[in-house]
Structure 1
Amino acid sequence: MTTHSIETLRTARYLTLGGPPPEDLTADALGGVREVWLACHGYGQSAARWARHFEPLASAERLIVVPEALSKFYLDDRYQRVGASWMTRENRESEVADQIRYLDAVMTEACGRAGVDLASVRLVGFGFSQGTATIMRWLEQSALVAQRPRRANRVILWGGRVPTDLDLGAQRPWLEQADLHIIAGDRDAVATPGRVIAQETALREAGIPYQTITFSGEHRLNARVLAGLGAL
């Protein structure tokens, strides 16, 4: 038995919040976006439902882009609820490469529609749970991001961590400029207090500055904390 791989086109979806209104894409409206967030959801989530958390943060000057992971599956035995996953350990290298190409395509189109120059706009990378590894791999490997003076102006890892295969020492030059935030609830079953401490230790040993924010809650977004991040 021989295993083969092919590349194939497929259709994916993403959502945007904020930026110039679709009915007002005039020369005056374009170019008004000052900040773009790329926000990657967690395992088993739907981008459409998850994106609602970001509605209070969106504005004419802040464009929030929420892509949906490429692998979908049913979450219940009645085949009603659908979620998505960024990747599994199977065929890992190809899945990571597909992710990077997909997110590059999403950001190219979303920023183009809004008249945003991705090379110069303030960029915030936001990942929740499984999405933390996704956003970090994109920032590390994206050809688009590599063209920027700073890969990211801020990186927010919520309920997750830097992927263990990322060499913090090698990535220090851009990470130390990325205004890194580590966020978790005090009852988070995924980003447990012990795992947060281990992440902090690894970052300190690599000489990467970070800020940790904790809140009373479980493995989910918190409106108050999210609003505070939007005000920074």
Structure 2
Amino acid sequence: MEPKTISTARTARYISLGEPGADIQHVFFCLHGESQALADFAAQLVNFDTPERLLVLPEALSRYTMPAGPAGAPLTVASWFAADSLLPDLADLTAYLDELAAEVLAHCPAGVPVTVLGYGSGAAAACRWLAGGRTHYDRLLLYAPVFPPSIDRRATLVGLPDRPITLISTTTEAFTTEAVGAGLLQDLQDVGLSAQHRYVSEGPLTLAALGTVGK
């Protein structure tokens, strides 16, 4: 039996740290990692949350529940794509994120700087979105990036516009070897893109770790 598909409207969710408005000076679109609750991701970005900065944290469309720990309630988490439905998932996430970005930016000052931050598998989702979508951005941050084997990384990177890229690796061993970043850095160079490579300790990100992006 071969699965069939049908397109239908979905209700997506996102967290907004700050509200769009005339006083916003920088917009961040921040894509979470695999099986990561939005609240946990927001806790890593607490250092960015200032009145002039708007952080938008979209939740991936494939939501599911993780079992609770000994003392906690079950968590709702999400995945950006599945190996057996990769192409439809990529098309859906591109359309979803383009629509969300257009809605948010329509209520911000024209030309406001836009940074896209992808964490873990959210880095792969960010690259696929920006390579195939219509959203203008000024800088791309890839934090402990992980590309699933089902995604052709180099083919994705070829489609990225020539924008500043910062690759962020942790100094701990909490992530896979791929997330250390050496392979991705080489692929970026091979397709003609340059990137800064920074190292951070595990925990909330700081503006200093991102260079000039937070200024």
Normalised TM-score (structure 1): 0.77
Matched-pair contact (CA < 8 Å) for 1:41–1:128: yes
Q: Secondary structure at the match of 1:63?
A: strand
2:159 to 162, 165, 171: 171
Q: Secondary structure at the match of 1:91?
A: helix
Structure 1, unmatched stretches of 5+, are: 21-29, 146-150
Change in Cα spacing, 1:115 to 1:183, as seen in structure 2 (3 Å) is closer
Residue equivalent to 1:5: 5
CA distance in structure 1 between the aligned counterparts of 2:157 and 2:144, rounded to whole angstroms: 23
Structure 2, unmatched stretches of 5+, are: none
Residue equivalent to 1:104: 98
Residue equivalent to 1:153: 138
Residue equivalent to 2:81: 87
Of all paired residues, the percent bearing the same amino acid is 25
The higher-RCO structure (CA 8 Å, 6+ apart) is 2
Cα deviation for residue 132 of structure 1 reads 0.2
**Structure showing greater Rg:** 1
Change in Cα spacing, 1:7 to 1:179, as seen in structure 2 (3 Å) is same
Judge which range, 50-59 or 82-91, deviates more.
Answer: 50-59
Residue equivalent to 2:42: 51
Residue equivalent to 2:175: 190
CA distance in structure 2 between the aligned counterparts of 1:189 and 1:52, rounded to whole angstroms: 17
Cα deviation for residue 204 of structure 1 reads 2.5
How many residue pairs get aligned? The number is 206
Residue equivalent to 2:188: 203
Matched-pair contact (CA < 8 Å) for 1:14–1:106: no
2:133 to 133, 139, 142: 142
Residue equivalent to 2:27: 36
In the alignment, structure 1 residue 227 sits paired with structure 2 residue 207: yes
Q: Secondary structure at the match of 2:84?
A: coil
Cα deviation for residue 53 of structure 1 reads 2.6
Root-mean-square deviation (CA, aligned residues, Å) is 2.6
Q: Secondary structure at the match of 2:181?
A: helix
1:14-47 superposed Cα distances (whole Å, 9 cap, x missing partner)? 1111245xxxxxxxxx332221110000000111
Matched-pair contact (CA < 8 Å) for 2:26–2:52: yes
Cα deviation for residue 74 of structure 1 reads 2.1
